[in-house]
Structure 1
Amino acid sequence: MTIHSLYIYDRHCVCVYYQDWHRTKGPRPAAAAGGILPAVSPAVYPRQEEPTLESASTYSSPRNTLTSSSGVVVAINDEPRTPLPPQMQTSATQSQNPSSILTFDEEAKLVYGVVLSLRNMVRKLSGKDEQFVNYKTSSYKLHLYETLSGYKFVMLSDPNADSLRFVLRQIYSGPFLEYVVRNPLMKMDSREHGIDNEYFRMSTDRMIRGLTVFQ
């Protein structure tokens, strides 16, 4: 059993914090045009791609053996390329094309949409006294803890893990209140900036790694 990731949403339905541990596929950076708030997580903030040698060079050559500025030989390969088998071509295309993985802003919206839909369904079917706390699929288990101020702590774990709602409550009552709510330099309820800071991230990481379910 293990823990995959943690999302925190504010009352405006915006993801303001993200952290992951055991993910088979890392999240793609969010879209550059306002896809995600800054300081949510360094791993998901939009990054500008560095220009490659082909795009930076103005020398038009099908083999790209020379640079336009220096004329230094970069690569020479006169041997014909051997085509890959169809199976290897398919796997290579999938590994080089990450379009099958959602960008983080789309992923965060989907996670919140699932939480909101299931929470509303539970309230309509069971009344206001019942609360949606978790659900399980064959691949993962989602845990939810919602505060009175409207913040939603969402955690994805192994499907065989027990309820981790108490862990989310401990994150809220411990590191979140200490390093976010009581931090005079932290802007709460902001639509322009996330809530990430070094002490909160380190304290949350230490707490999660100390759980028996984390191993």
Structure 2
Amino acid sequence: MTIYSLYIYDRHCTCVYYQDWHRTKAPRPATEGGILPAVSQQLYQVRGEDGTLSVMNSSPRNTLSSSSGVVIAVNDELPRTPLLQTMPQPPAPKPVHTGLSFDEEAKLVYGVVLSLRNMIKKLSGQDEQFTNYRTSTYKLHLYETLSGYKFIMLSDPFSDSLRFILRQIYAGPFLEYVVRNPLVNMDSKEYGIDNEYFRASVDRIVRGLSVF
């Protein structure tokens, strides 16, 4: 079983957080102004002084390496002597992108969830809840909070329900590093969840699962 990606949407239907692990095809960077900054450093484009668009890389102070999930300590001062001689690493392979930009992909994911949830309420009544659905290639899991935040995880189609993991992410790092953090504006329409401790905690929880 494999976990592919995680989306978090706020009460305004806006994607405020994205992280992936086992995607074979990376989404294309979002169009300019398509997503909020800090949703995903690898998918956010900025316009330079010369007018060209480029993907914003992570800050050198970030504590999480997105490719390895290893927590790294960063020092402001350059080391006087190298502590370890490392062999030169081969260049990383270029990611294979899908045909959709990330902002379009995020809208489609939310649209599918909203449509299925409304259909279930109309067919089965208000007591029924939409929690997941399965296709031949993936399974979507949904956990919605009372405040309107939606946690959506995509996994392989043969996995069991991962709703408890989404609830664990909400009750753990989300409440600790986002809700209780006075520096994070919960209803911000300018930034996503800009907190590297939250991103590192989510990565640690997912990588520690037996289904990862």
Instruction: Identify the TM-score tier after normalising by the shorter chain.
Output: 0.7 to 0.9
| CA shift for structure 1 position 23 | 0.2
Output the CA distance in 1 between the equivalents of 2:206 and 2:115.
27
Runs of at least 5 residues in structure 2 that lack an aligned partner in the other structure:
51-93
Q: Which runs of 5+ in 1 are unaligned?
A: 52-94
- Determine if contact 1:4/1:23 at 8 Å carries over to the other structure: yes
**2:15 match:** 15
Cα RMSD, aligned residues only = 2.0
Residue 43 of structure 1: how far off its partner (Å) = 1.4
TM-score by length of 1: 0.75
Cα deviation code 1:42-69 (max 9, x no counterpart) = 11111559x9xxxxxxxxxxxxxxxxxx
In structure 2, the partner of 1:44 is 43
User: 1-side partners of 2:189 and 2:133: how far apart?
Assistant: 29
SS in 1 for 2:112: helix
**Aligned-pair CA distance for 1:196:** 2.9
Contact 1:41 1:196 in 2 (8 A): no
1:1-215 counterparts in 2 under 5 A? 1-32=1-32, 34-47=33-46, 101-214=99-212
1:97 CA displacement: 9.8
Greater per-residue strand proportion? 2
User: Would you say the 8 A contact 1:29–1:47 is kept in 2?
Assistant: no
Q: Which has the higher helix share?
A: 1
Computing the radius of gyration over CA atoms, which structure comes out larger, 1 or 2? 1
**Structure 1 position 141, deviation (Å):** 0.2
Secondary structure at 2:26 match in 1: coil
**Identity over aligned pairs, percent:** 77
**What is the aligned length?**
169
**Deviation string for 1:148-198 (max 9, x for gaps)?**
000000000010000000000000000000000000111111111101311
Once residues 198 and 96 of structure 1 are traced to their aligned partners in structure 2, the CA distance between those partners, rounded to angstroms, is: 23
Q: TM-score, normalised by structure 2?
A: 0.76
Distance 1:178 1:201 in 2: 12
C-alpha distance in 1 between matches for 2:160 and 2:154:
12
* Corresponding residue SS for 1:144: strand
> 4+ residue runs of structure 1 moved beyond 6 angstroms?
none
